[in-house]
Structure 1
Amino acid sequence: MRRPTRLPRRSAGTITALLGAVLLLGPTACSGPAPGAAAPTAAGTGSAAPVPPTPVTRTMPPDISAMLLPSTGADTRWSQGLDTFSTLTGNAAVRACARARGTAEPVTPPAMFFRVMDIPDLPFIQAHGFSGGFAPGESATGSAGAPGPPNAEQKQCWEESKKTVQELKDLYAPLQSQWFSQMASLRHTPDVQAAYQRFNSCLAEHGVRAKDEDALFAQVDQLTQDGDTAATTHLGEVYTTCMAPVEAVREPVRAKQREDFRAAHAAQIAALSTSLPQKIHEFEQRYGLQIAFPTP
């Protein structure tokens, strides 16, 4: 499958939460697909409370570029929904294939909303913490299926499902990847680097023993695995407070860059305004899905 040339930086906490859930299932074949998720409890103790359902909206954005070129944290909810829909489509495709072949449905990875670190959604973090949460219908147990290494027919179904997801990804991923790469490069500009120095000082002022953002997320990783939701909630509050000045510097720059990017890629975006919703609707009808976008 062709992938974007550069993926956006994801929130470490959401990735850890997913991996912790996956680990609870035990080992699977290295050559097989990612295993399905058990209830999202702490990997180390199994004592954390289940992650509550993520609130969503089913309404597509009026401007398709919001899904492709997010410039604010709130905008990234649209791109999260689009990325998650591709996972749901792949899961649905492999299960449909297995049923058609008369074999057991393989366990599929849970579709989750992964936030973009270079465009942080501060209101969402303030309300829900660092976990992006499961997509609707993917909550506690993930997808039912037979554990263990996939058989030959299941492997073929996985290959077919990749082709299906490719149909969707090929429409928007190359353009979106260019945009995310441009957004990531802002981190290295002098104004943003200066703002990050203030961010690091802010962490210390709030008693957080982390030298920078990466170290903060390392703490979030560990606390998530330990099931310490009170501590991760506190870190989320500190993070939003300290990151707000950084975003105050970046948001105007991102807004201007999006105007320029849209002008430079106007023909592609115009074409996607028709082709992308059509493809989404096609897969919704084929697999009984409905795209969803996280809301605060």
Structure 2
Amino acid sequence: MIRPAIWRKLVTRTATAAAAALLAVACSTDLGPSSNPSSGTSSPPVPPARLTYALPDDPVRMLFPATGAETRWTQGLSVFGQQVARTVEAACARNGGIGLPEQTPLAFIPFSEIPDLDFLAQHGFGQSAEVPSPAASPAPPRSGSPTATRPCRAQGAAAARTVRDAYAPLQNRWFRELASLRRDPATVRASRTLPDCLAGHGFNVRDEDGFFGLVDSRLLTAAPADFPYVDRELGHAYAACMRPVEAVREPARLRLRTRFLAAHADQAHELRKTLIPSLRRAEQRHSLRLCFPAP
């Protein structure tokens, strides 16, 4: 996947801040839901991001995304593989009478080079739909050491591979193909407008990565009551300034995908036939349901 570290850092490091912010706002009795205590301004409340279970009309849109909206399916597919791994790990640990170490909650991780601007404009960087958590199990009689839990980790990883192996090699090749667009002259020209546009919104950064660093800093230091407003301001500015860039990049990605599918026609045809049935079998086997973030 393309440059996942930046987005994973943002999502992981802001998860605690977001949770604290939501708790503080929910518990407040002095402030209305749309008042910003720091600025004195108000804005209409935004419904939280939700989950959807609707699959794309063509599975290649989930495997080889070319638009921001399509990456919602890709995010859900990625999370599904992780859910399979954790479900199998947990069952193995229960059978062995041991507990697994606490893990970071799963999250939908966006794609920095295929930004979902409509989602970001509405929800900002710190809030996506919540990944469903498994039903709580009775506490195990003892905690498992790394040595004791290693076989369970191995079983979980193997189960996830059974889900991913059919599509992951070609999907990884697609993401490597997308990286070539960074050097596309039209994309480079469009990207040069980003710093000035962001400056017009009050964010002085040298480039897109600099803005992501600013997002990280602002969300981690925002007061809990201010967090939703800071987050939305950042998301709105980024979405507004990236739309001219995406107006160039998105058609280029769609053209690239057409060529990519033609070059790998046999594999794409096989995935169109087999992917969804294999995912449905995994859902039944592990009592999971494939889901996706939606604005």
State the alpha-carbon separation in 2 of the partners of residues 84 and 143 from structure 1: 21
Q: Corresponding residue for 1:287? A: 286
| 1:88 Cα offset (Å) | 0.9
Q: CA deviation at 1:240?
A: 0.6
Structure 2 residue 120 is the aligned partner of structure 1 residue 125? yes
2:6 is aligned to: 12
- Residues 145, 9 of structure 1: CA spacing in aligned structure 2 closer, same or farther, 3 A cutoff? farther
Instruction: Mark the CA change 1:285 to 1:164 in structure 2 (over 3 Å): closer, same or farther.
Output: same
| Counterpart residue number, 2:256 | 257
Partners of 1:13 and 1:224 within 8 A in 2: no
Residue 49 of structure 1: aligned partner: 22
The alpha-carbon deviation at position 221 of structure 1 amounts to 0.7
Q: Does 1:266 align with 2:242?
A: no
Instruction: Map 1:1-296; keep pairs closer than 5 Å.
Output: 7-10=1-4, 12=6, 15-19=9-13, 21=15, 40-41=16-17, 47-49=20-22, 54-131=49-126, 133=128, 135-138=130-133, 150-227=145-222, 228-296=227-295
Provide the aligned C-alpha RMSD in A: 2.7
Superposition deviation, residue 81 in structure 1: 0.9
Q: Distance in 1 between matches of 2:145 and 2:176?
A: 36
- Specify whether residues 229 and 222 from structure 1 end up closer, same or farther in structure 2 by C-alpha distance, changes over 3 A only: farther
Displacement of 1:184 after TM fit? 2.2
In structure 2, the gaps of 5 or more residues are 26-46
Secondary structure of the residue aligned to 2:69 is helix
One-letter amino acid matched to 2:21: A
Distance (Å, rounded) in 1 between the aligned partners of 2:143 and 2:183: 45
SS in 1 for 2:241: helix
How many pairs does the alignment contain? 268
CA contact (8 A) 2:108 2:128 kept: yes
* TM-score, normalised with respect to structure 2: 0.82
**Distance change (3 Å), C-alpha of 1:143 and 1:262:** farther
CA distance in 2, matches of 1:293, 1:10: 18
Give the Å deviation of 1:243: 0.3
Name the SS for the 2:131 alignment partner.
coil
SS at structure 2 position matched to 1:120: coil
Contact 1:107–1:144 (Cα < 8 Å) also in 2? no
The structural deviation recorded for 1:132 is 5.5
Q: Of the two structures, which has the highest relative contact order with CA contacts closer than 8 Å and spacing of 6 or more? A: 2
- Give the Cα separation in 2 of the matches to 1:284 and 1:154: 24
- How far apart in 1 are the matches of 2:187 and 2:76? 28
- CA change 1:268–1:201 in 2 (3 A) is same
Instruction: For 2:71, give the aligned amino acid.
Output: T
SS at match of 1:171: coil
- CA 1:249–1:91: 2 relative to 1, 3 Å: same
Tell whether the 8 Å contact from 2:182 to 2:188 is kept in structure 1 after alignment: yes
Q: Which amino acid aligns with 1:150?
A: S
**Secondary structure of the equivalent of 2:192?**
helix
Q: Indicate if the aligned counterparts of 1:99 and 1:105 stay in contact, CA closer than 8 A.
A: no
Deviation for aligned residue 1:47: 4.2
Task: Answer with 67-76 or 146-155: which moved more.
Answer: 146-155
User: Deviating runs (4+, > 3 A) in structure 1?
Assistant: 10-14, 50-54, 141-151
| Percent pairwise identity | 36
Moved more, 129-138 or 96-105: 129-138
1:158-214 deviation line (CA, Å, top 9, x unaligned): 111111111122111111111111212212211111111111211122221211111
User: Are the aligned partners of 2:7 and 2:111 in contact in 1 as well (CA < 8 Å)?
Assistant: no
Does the aligned pair in 2 maintain the 1:115–1:132 contact within 8 Å? no
Could you tell me whether the CA contact under 8 Å between 1:192 and 1:250 is conserved in 2?
yes
Partner-residue secondary structure (3-state), 1:56: strand
- Per-residue CA deviations over 1:65-106 (Å, capped at 9, x if unaligned) read 011111110111111111111111111111111112222244
* Aligned residue identity for 2:235: G
CA distance in 2, matches of 1:20, 1:246: 26
**Cα distance, 1:148 vs structure 2:** 7.5
Residue 20 (structure 1) shift: 5.1
